[in-house]
Amino acid sequence: MSLPPRSAVKPLLLLGICWTTLLVVLLAGAAHAQTYEPGEEGTFSIIGRDPATGQLGMAVHSKTIAVGSRTRGGKGGVAVIAHQSASNPMYSAIGIELLEAGMLPQQALEMMLRSDERRDSRQVAILDSQGRTAAFTSATISDWKGHRCGENYCAQGNTLAGPEVVAAMARSFATSTGPLAERLLSALEAGQSEGGDRRGVQSASLMILKPLAIQGYGDRELDLRVDEHRDPFGELRRILHAVRSGEMLSEANANIAAADLKGALHKAFAARDTSPTNDNAWVTIANIHLRTGDKANAIAAIARAVELNPANKNQLKRNQAFAALHQDPEFIKIVGVQ
């Protein structure tokens, strides 16, 4: 008995996967739709792709608590999926299975909608790793509602001040450059500047997925959430700045290890300016100043680090990078005795 040619194996496997996945959709998908109903919510969001890095991401806001806990889904290297108005995780879980089985986003979306008894309460958008999109906005969810998909993005929302909210998000993303996280957050802020959710503000989140890298499983490059805040947009941007500041400090430490203290100080200052309340930036600045023999500025930076985070009193006494100061009266005055 001869084996089928290698070129025929993949289609045969794909056929089996597709039938299995369709069965899951028809049986489990409808069950999900019946048993998971957290309540309808006004939401606006944007999903996007960076073809240069392979990243996929989503930024979302709603006048509800913890919108990021239920409206987002996806898998690095496969797709990112937004499901809102009445969110349902079936669209994320089954959607990824269908896409991995070979379906196009539009095919996967249509299949899931057919299996969903409450599809009239949904707003769903899919963006895959090749930039292909599909979106659905029910005609019966709260006005204003709608979506707009373009090259490498889909913007969508409901219970909005008007169509200008989605238009602003789409325009912002389509005309921006830079890291995907910043582009998505700027697009979300552009939507808010046009009125956003007509009921007000409360929660927001930002998620960036990268092709699987952590032991073949981890794909979350960023997963930031502001679950309840009077200024969720400003708070989300503050957190993103803190993340970027930490990344700059990693570069500064690499410069220190390479004996490039000038480059290290430049990066550490950039980290401080990006997130002025990041006490780690001040500790790194103090370390670099001490290495260059600038004790006065090292002490000043230590004082600021302790002011921002009093726990640095104990940490700095244990940090061997500051061993030369451990008996120094000025240092002891700031952190206390050993």
78-115 pLDDT per residue, tens: 999 999 998 899 999 999 999 999 999 999 999 999 99
pLDDT at 155 over 90: yes
pLDDT in the model for residue 1: 41
Map out the domains of the chain as residue ranges: 6-229, 244-335
pLDDT of 48 over the 50 cut? yes
d(CA 305, CA 316): 10
Q: Is the pLDDT of residue 167 over 50?
A: yes
pTM given for the model = 0.85
What are the tens digits of pLDDT across the range 213-242? 766 778 999 999 999 999 999 999 999 999
Peptide bond into 19 cis (omega under 30): no
At 253, is the pLDDT very low, low, confident or very high (cuts 50, 70, 90)? very high
Give yes or no on whether 6-229 and 244-335 have one common fold.
no
Q: What pLDDT, on a 0 to 100 scale, did the predictor assign at position 40?
A: 56
Residues in Cβ contact with 252 at an 8 Å cutoff, skipping those fewer than 6 apart: 263, 264, 265, 267, 268, 271, 284, 288
* Rg of the Cα atoms in the chain: 25
- Residue 148 belongs to what H/E stretch? strand 146-150
Query: Quick check: 164 pLDDT over 70?
Result: yes
Residues 6-229, CATH architecture: 4-Layer Sandwich (3.60)
- Nearest CA to 305 among 321, 261, 254? 321
- In this predicted structure, the answer to whether residue 71 has a pLDDT above a threshold of 80 is yes
Question: What pLDDT does 41 receive?
Answer: 64
Residue 126 in contact with residue 109, Cβ under 8 Å?
Answer: yes
Which ranges of 132-162 would DSSP assign to H, the alpha helix?
Answer: none
Instruction: Residue 288: name the closest of 274, 302, 278 by CA.
Output: 302
What CATH superfamily classification does 244-335 receive?
Tetratricopeptide repeat domain (1.25.40.10)
Give the mean pLDDT of the chain.
88
